[in-house]
């Protein structure tokens, strides 16, 4: 009986330890998102053949935050063909990640974290200072307001892309994003 | 005073647009120029992944034209920003600076521009184009 009482106490102690440590450091996703707001796009004129783009994308993806269950498996590097500069690959990954965070926010999966990441998105390196950032700023303003036309339009684009990604990833034996 | 100035501007624009013969639909188009685009025989994305969105006033039609007369046959496409799916493409003959329709999509749809020259024709450097969206 005494042991039964001690076990929950130990679990609670571990839980309390984790909870106490959490505020000391920001979640990694927020750190990565913040870093993208000041990072420069990947440089280099080297061109990467489509057949090698997925491996290059895997390396570049380490700096891009995704919601839980997120992957970049559905991007059609092989089907698109041609070649890519590192900045091209990073731009595709960042927009794909943005879409995943939009769906996460809309679906109520860790909505607060999703909204926090989305607030950074207009300043991410792929489009910072470019025309596309204006549109993303409108979308993020809608997110902040709880919804709106720009967010709805973007989610329709993201949902269509996600449906294609699931199909493509499955056809290649990969795990699609949630 | 401000209202009077604005009315004068509107009237002036109406007169100039009429003189220029600009069709009403052209007023609704949002255009962006693609500068110094370098194409090879292998497909590549314009501008380090520069992204474009379909405007609410375009009717959903995305068109492309060369501003500098192309000296090679080129193929231009619009692809999804998110997964690179090809939304539509068209071929441009040597010297063709007319608009070509690439695809139609919903307002807010994000796309990148990809292009190449025809097989065996070599590269085409520093040519400007314009996307209407």
Residue pLDDT, tens place only, B35-48:
999 999 999 999 99
**Smallest Cα distance from B1 to chain A, Å:** 32
Contact B45 A47 (CB under 8 A): no
Question: Under 8 Å CB-to-CB from B40, ≥6 apart: which residues?
Answer: B116, B117, B122, B123
Residue A18's pLDDT band (cuts 50, 70, 90): very low
Q: Domains along chain B?
A: 31-132 (2.60.120.380)
pLDDT score of A38? 96
A88 and B45: CB-CB below 8 Å?
A: yes
Q: Which residues of B touch A89 (CB under 8 A)?
A: 49
Instruction: Determine the residue among A46, A88, A89, A137 to mutate to test chain B binding: the one whose Cβ has the most chain B Cβ atoms within 10 Å.
Output: A88
Q: What is the residue-averaged pLDDT of chain B?
A: 86
Cross-chain Cβ contact B108/A153 below 8 Å: yes
Q: What pLDDT score does A26 carry?
A: 55
Measured in angstroms, the CA of A71 and the nearest CA of chain B are apart by 12
Contacts of A79 in chain B (CB under 8 A): 84-85
Output the CA torsion A161→A166→A167→A170 (10° steps): 150
pLDDT of A163 > 80? The answer is yes
Rounded CA separation A35/B94 (Å): 45
Chain A interface mutation, best of B35, B42, B51, B57, highest count of A Cβ atoms under 10 Å: B51
Instruction: Output the pLDDT for position A21.
Output: 45
* A134-143: pLDDT as tens digits: 999 999 999 9
Distance between the two ends of chain A, CA-based, in angstroms? 43
pLDDT band, very low/low/confident/very high, at A43 (cuts 50, 70, 90): confident
> B4 or A115: whose pLDDT is higher?
A115
What is the spatial distance between Cα A172 and Cα A165, in angstroms, rounded to a whole number?
11
- The pLDDT score that the predictor gives to residue A25 is 58
- Whether A125 shows a pLDDT value over 90: the answer reads yes
Q: Which of A10-19, A29-38, A79-88, B69-78 has the lowest mean pLDDT?
A: A10-19
User: How many angstroms separate the CA atoms of B42 and B52, rounded?
Assistant: 22
Distances (CA, A) of A76 to A97, B10, B61: 15, 47, 24
Tell me the average pLDDT across B44-68. 96
């Amino acid at each position: 009986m005494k042991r039964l009482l001690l076990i929950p106490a130990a679990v609670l102690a571990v839980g309390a330890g984790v909870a106490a440590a959490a505020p000391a450091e920001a979640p990694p996703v927020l750190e990565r998102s913040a870093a993208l707001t000041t990072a420069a796009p990947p440089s280099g004129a080297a061109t990467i053949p489509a057949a090698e783009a997925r491996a290059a994308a895997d390396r570049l993806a380490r700096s891009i935050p995704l919601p839980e269950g997120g992957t970049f498996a559905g991007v059609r590097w092989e089907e698109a063909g041609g070649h890519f500069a590192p900045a091209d690959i990073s731009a595709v990954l960042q927009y794909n990640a943005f879409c995943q965070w939009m769906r996460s926010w809309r679906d109520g999966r860790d909505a607060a974290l999703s909204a926090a990441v989305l607030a950074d998105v207009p300043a991410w390196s792929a489009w910072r200072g470019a025309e596309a950032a204006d549109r993303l700023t409108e979308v993020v303003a809608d997110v902040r307001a709880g919804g709106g036309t720009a967010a709805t339009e973007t989610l329709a684009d993201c949902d269509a892309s996600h449906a294609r990604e699931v199909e493509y990833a499955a056809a290649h034996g990969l795990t699609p994003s949630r | 005073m401000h209202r009077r100035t604005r009315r004068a501007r509107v009237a002036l624009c109406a007169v100039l647009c009429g003189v220029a013969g600009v069709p009403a639909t052209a007023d609704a188009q949002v255009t962006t120029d693609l500068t110094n685009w370098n194409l090879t025989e292998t497909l590549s994305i314009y501008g380090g992944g520069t992204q474009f969105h379909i405007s609410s006033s375009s009717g959903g039609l995305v068109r492309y034209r060369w501003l500098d007369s192309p000296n090679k046959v080129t193929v231009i496409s619009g692809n999804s920003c998110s997964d690179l799916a090809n939304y539509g493409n068209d071929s441009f003959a040597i010297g063709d600076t007319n608009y070509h329709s690439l695809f139609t999509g919903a307002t807010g749809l994000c796309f990148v521009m990809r292009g190449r020259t025809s097989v065996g024709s070599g590269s085409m450097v520093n040519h400007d184009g314009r996307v209407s969206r």
